[in-house]
């Protein structure tokens, strides 16, 4: 797991993702409609939360405006990781009217998508408040946007599981074709000493095998809450216990009460609804 100290994504990931999005929008002839606007006109506009939620993705929105016109100014009123109320002004944009209009959709697409992830993550985090459980994301991310989406999870108060296949060893059932758990862990230790080793388990027997072999984390795959409690007792603190599968907002509290250390939720990134944000022109902001 990688618990980065900031809610902001790496700058290179922001630049690359935004550049691809703008190229997609402007190919091949640019913004035909914005070309009809008076090129000397300026605008001051507010980014407004149409519904309440946790903000994430400001860096992407700022970059979208900057890549269209570096003179556009963006004044953020709500930080990443902070809740915006319905109707609240999240930021103020000022600059060329045609440039602002060209960048608007790209900026709002990133901001709405990433804020949606942060908002859903916060709901899961709030649902396990009072326990020591950490809510994790997974690698079920939008191709090319992983660094941005994982930053949004952090903005929502969650934690990141591995960001790439090279960060840790995670032995799943498909890796064990013709290979038992003990041998898989032994090979992992020999090949990658010092790396975290996690083993996916679908039974209490496999949990015991994984812990006995020296796994650092056991992932309980699709366990019922009662079976999670039994697995936690069997592990006895010798490894971290992660719950994965069958977890929803309706069940996460019950799973947390069973005593695991970690709960991973793929829905944080693959099913989060977009937070509705809009750009309102000529407002008193």
pLDDT tens digit sequence for 148-192: 999 999 999 999 999 999 999 999 988 877 789 999 999 999 999
pTM for this predicted structure: 0.95
pLDDT of residue 4: 44
Across the chain, mean pLDDT equals 95
pLDDT of residue 3: 46
pLDDT of residue 179: 86
pLDDT tens digit sequence for 236-251: 999 999 999 989 999 9
Domain annotation for the chain: domains and CATH numbers: 11-125+272-281 (3.90.1170.20), 130-270 (3.20.20.70)
Catalytic residues: 105, 140, 172, 200, 221
Per-position DSSP letters for the chain, written without gaps between them: ----S-SSPPHHHHHHHHHHHHHHHHTTT--TTGGGS-TT-EEEEEEEESS-EE---HHHHHHHHHHH-TT-EEEESS-TTSEEPTT-EEEEEEEEHHHHHHHHHHHHHHHHHHHHHHHHHHHHHHHTTTS-PEEE--S---TT-HHHHHHHHHHTT-B---SSTTSSEEE-GGGGTT--HHHHHHHHHHHSTTS-EEEEESSHHHHHHHHHHT-SEEEEET--HHHHHHHHHHHTTSSEEEEESS--TTTHHHHHHT--SEEE-THHHHSPPPP-EEEEES---
């Amino acid at each position: 797991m990688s618990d980065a100290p900031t809610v902001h994504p790496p700058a290179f990931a922001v630049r690359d993702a935004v550049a691809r999005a703008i190229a997609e929008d402007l190919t091949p002839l640019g913004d035909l409609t914005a070309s009809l606007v008076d090129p000397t006109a300026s605008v001051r506009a507010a980014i407004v939360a149409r519904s309440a939620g946790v903000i994430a993705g400001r860096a992407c929105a700022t970059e979208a405006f900057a890549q269209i016109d570096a003179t556009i100014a963006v004044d953020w009123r709500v930080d990443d990781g902070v809740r915006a109320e319905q109707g609240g002004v999240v930021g103020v944009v000022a600059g060329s009217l045609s440039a602002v209009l060209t960048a608007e959709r790209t900026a709002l697409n990133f901001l709405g998508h990433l804020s949606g992830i942060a908002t859903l993550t916060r709901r899961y985090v709030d649902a396990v408040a009072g326990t020591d459980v950490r809510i994790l994301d997974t690698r079920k991310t939008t191709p090319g946007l992983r660094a941005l989406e994982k930053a949004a999870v952090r903005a929502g108060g969650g934690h990141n599981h591995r960001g790439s296949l090279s960060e840790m060893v995670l032995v799943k059932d498909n890796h064990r074709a013709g290979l038992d758990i003990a041998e898989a862990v032994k090979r992992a230790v020999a090949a990658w000493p010092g790396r975290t080793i996690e083993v996916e388990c679908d039974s209490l027997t496999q949990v015991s095998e994984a812990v006995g072999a020296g796994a650092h984390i056991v992932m309980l795959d699709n366990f019922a809450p009662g079976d999670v409690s039994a697995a936690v007792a069997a592990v006895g603190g010798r490894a971290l216990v992660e719950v994965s599968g069958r977890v929803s907002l309706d069940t996460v509290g019950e799973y947390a009460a069973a005593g695991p250390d970690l709960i991973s939720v793929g829905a944080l990134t693959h099913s989060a609804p977009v937070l509705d944000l809009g750009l309102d022109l000529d407002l008193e902001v």
